Structure 1
Amino acid sequence: MILVLCPGCQTPLDSAEAEANAAELRVQRQDGGRFVADPVICMTGTMAQPGEILYGSDHLEKVPRTGQVEDISALERLPAGTRCVPTVGGVTIHPPT
């Protein structure tokens, strides 16, 4: 657990951020998307043979620049036609229709 806020302890900014996050997640689910928190790499292949990297290559490029390594989730073998859209704090995956 990182932080716990009781509703009475939240600032107006905290409340607005919580409402925005909840609305964004509702919209993503309604559009058939699935939210995954950063850092994540979406790819049509595998780590050994990545195929098309749909989103997340910026995380890999950041490692040599900053010297910092994050635990990166790899979503492998996504079907062709999948869309991965960066959103605040993560990525939304939209499977092909």
Structure 2
Amino acid sequence: MPLHEDTSPLEMARRATCKAEFIAALSKLRKASGLSYSQIELKTDHRYRVSSSTAQRLCTEQLPKHEVQLRAFLMACDVSAEAIADWVKEWQRLLFS
């Protein structure tokens, strides 16, 4: 990999060719945020709570089933609104491919 290549979680999601690669990008995002799965649960909005067990599954084995679930996870990780739109676009690309 060239030294200048972006390896950020969002860029990983953009380059993902399968669901497992997108899940790996979510995992990298969570680790970069420094949040535990329990902390993610506590930071999610009361309108759509992502439990710690769901957060763990999203980072290890399961693509988010609903856009609102992905958005809640991303907001808990302090992703900007602009970047959330990019994440959703990449999630939709993989979900519907």
TM-score category of the 2 structures, normalised to the smaller one: under 0.3
Q: Comparing both structures, which one devotes a greater share of its residues to helix?
A: 2
Name which one, 1 or 2, has greater alpha-carbon Rg: 1
- Structure (1/2) with the larger strand percentage: 1
